Amino acid sequence: MISYLKGSIASVDVSTPNRTMLTVEVNGIGYELQITPRLARRLPPFGESFQVFCDLQQREDRPVLYGFGSAAERDLFRQLIRASGVGSQLALALLDTLELSDLVQAIVTGNHRILSQTPGVGKKTAERISLELRSKLSQWRQRVQLETIPEAGLTAEIQEDVEMTLLALGFSPEEVMNAMKALAKDETFSDRNDADAWIKRSIALLSD
């Protein structure tokens, strides 16, 4: 399994309908990956070094390598394609339409309206994605056994939503707890009943 590739950008081809293909040259070998248009807009200039995270899928006619800008994005893609009725192209469309943090939060909180902004995702598909992935994320959260933060002033439901979102974005359990404890002690932080505010402030703290 190829986890990631690190090389120079050889080409980006958007001529194929609904397909954006990136070629990365690594040690004289060109690897072709399908990426989202969002990632294509963020690529460095041709010839510059670039790291792309990968997932290899076997189609009926040939294998296809998909490329992502972060390990968290790649891992969410793998979760999305396991949901009923979600194939690789629909998963890429979700990742292209919504920022990663917004997509994860919409799944965790069951915000079907946000998920349905993606072309091809109707209400039933959005409900199924949220139901199936939230269940998996909840099980994951329980396995890592995050502690409660009584001084945070959070309901159990909001804390669960915040933790699952941050974990799905690739932050470690220790990082999640440290960020939430820091916010719990921050007297200037007033939006304590707003999961979205907790997530955004936590991401800002962890990204410094």
Q: What is the DSSP letter of 33?
A: E
Q: What is the DSSP letter of 131?
A: H
Q: What is the per-residue pLDDT for 149?
A: 66
Digit-coded pLDDT (tens) for 114-164? 999 999 899 899 999 998 888 887 777 777 767 666 566 677 788 888 888
**Please, where are the H alpha helices in the chain?**
37-41, 71-80, 88-97, 100-109, 112-115, 123-144, 156-168, 173-184, 195-207
Q: Which class for 33: exposed (0-12), middle (13-18), buried (19 or more C-beta within 10 A)?
A: buried
CA angle 142, 145, 149 (to 5 degrees): 110
Q: Any residues with CB less than 8 A from the CB of 36 and at least 6 apart, and which? A: 20, 92, 95, 96
Digit-coded pLDDT (tens) for 22-63? 999 999 999 999 999 999 999 998 888 899 999 999 887 889
Cα separation of 105 and 81, whole Å?
18
Cα separation of 136 and 128, whole Å?
12
Digit-coded pLDDT (tens) for 78-118? 989 988 889 999 999 999 999 888 898 888 888 899 999 99
Is 176:163 a contact under the CB 8 Å cutoff? yes
Characterize the bridge pairing of strands 49-58 and 4-13. Answer: antiparallel
